[in-house]
Amino acid sequence: LEEYSFGRRAWLYKYRGFVFPNLFLDKIRNIHTFDVREDDVWVITFPKSGTTWVQEIVYLLMNDLDTEKALKLNIDIRFPYFEFVEPGLQAIAEMPSPRLIKSHLPFSILPNQMKNKRPKIIYIVRNPKDIVVSYYSFAIKFLKMVPFNGSFEDYCQLFVSDKVDYGPWWKHVSEAWNRRDDDNVLFLVYEDLHLDTGKHVREIANFLGKPVSDEQVDMIVKHCSFESMKQNNSVNYEWMKDAGIANKEVQFMRQGKVGDWKNHLSTEIVRQLDDMVTTKLPPDLSEQIKDS
Ligand code: A3P
């Protein structure tokens, strides 16, 4: 994808119709043959769709609402990023059950055993207009290691022409949507979580087989509110700044809003993203995409 990469030469590759950085493709064979367990819980998303928010909710539900432990231990240790370099597939393979695993891989590129072991999978979809703003802020401004010499508009063009990491977005979400009725899959919408977080905490709890009281729901909603997570160093990725891999003046916990794209996107990009939603998604999925 060199000609589209704005300095990201040798970073992005296409595999089975999706775009990935080379560091994931290097271990693709190990991804496919990874041993899945029936009692794993996987949170899977296209990046910037509310992954961290749902991870924290799932963590509390699976750990007797132990907020003290959640505040103490970094989320990447409690709930590792499957295909990333740290902690790596070997370390995840050795974790005690029940494992909590985050991944941005699309359904068609997950380990082969997902089909037979049928672990619980929670997928979250978010409207692509807020995603592109959030993705640019994270991948280009927050992270230091991704070379990119284009503008925000260039980045938006990459997104609409399906050339950002893990894209095409529409293909990623469509694959998950097609599996939404599987009994081991829970399909959530970021914007719905905003509207009524408590309702969805309860839905996630029931899906995980961890029923909660009204009081417990309130406690989880409070611990996982945007304002609270922004201040919480175990989930706000401030550690990346200390490690020298993220820029101090940019926040991972940026806005946490629905519709902030209105302050950033050009009319032309809005038109192209609207087009993507109406022409590339199955009609019943298009109806789920809420961007204001
Ligand atoms: P913004 O950049 O629009 O603020 P991910 O975890 O998949 O990387 O997604 C990050 C996005 O989710 C960011 O969006 C972030 O602010 C938002 N987010 C994180 N925690 C949230 C929370 N508790 N409530 C609402 N949004 C949250």
The answer on pLDDT for 175 being more than 60 is yes
Name the least confident of 100-109, 139-148, 207-216, 270-279: 139-148
ipTM of the complex: 0.99
Instruction: Read off the pLDDT of residues 118-129 as tens digits, 9 standing for 90 and up.
Output: 999 999 999 999
Query: For position 107, what pLDDT does the model report?
Result: 98
The ligand 1 site (C-beta within 6 Å) comprises: 45, 47-53, 130, 134, 137, 224-226, 229, 253-256, 260
- Cis ω before 147 (30° cut-off from 0): no
Pairing of strands 18-21, 12-15: antiparallel
Q: Give the closest residue (by CA) to ligand 1 atom 17.
A: 256
User: Domains (ranges, CATH) in the chain?
Assistant: 2-286 (3.40.50.300)
For the whole model, what pTM was predicted? 0.97
Q: Which of 104, 172, 200, 223 is catalytic?
A: 104
| Total residue length of the chain | 292
Q: Give the closest residue (by CA) to ligand 1 atom 12.
A: 50
CA of 49 to the centre of ligand 1 (A): 7
CA of 264 to the centre of ligand 1 (A): 17
Q: Convert 54-66 to b/e letters by CB count within 10 Å (16 or more is b).
A: bbbbbbbbbeebe
104 is catalytic: yes
Instruction: Read off the pLDDT of residues 66-87 as tens digits, 9 standing for 90 and up.
Output: 999 999 999 999 999 999 989 9
The answer on pLDDT for 96 being more than 60 is yes
Return the percentage of the chain with pLDDT > 70, whole number. Answer: 96
For the CA of 197, the closest atom of ligand 1 is: 24
- Cis ω before 21 (30° cut-off from 0): no
33 residue type, one letter: T
- Residues ≥6 apart with Cβ < 8 Å to 104: 44, 45, 46, 47, 51, 81, 83, 166
Alpha carbon distance 122, 140 (integer Å): 27
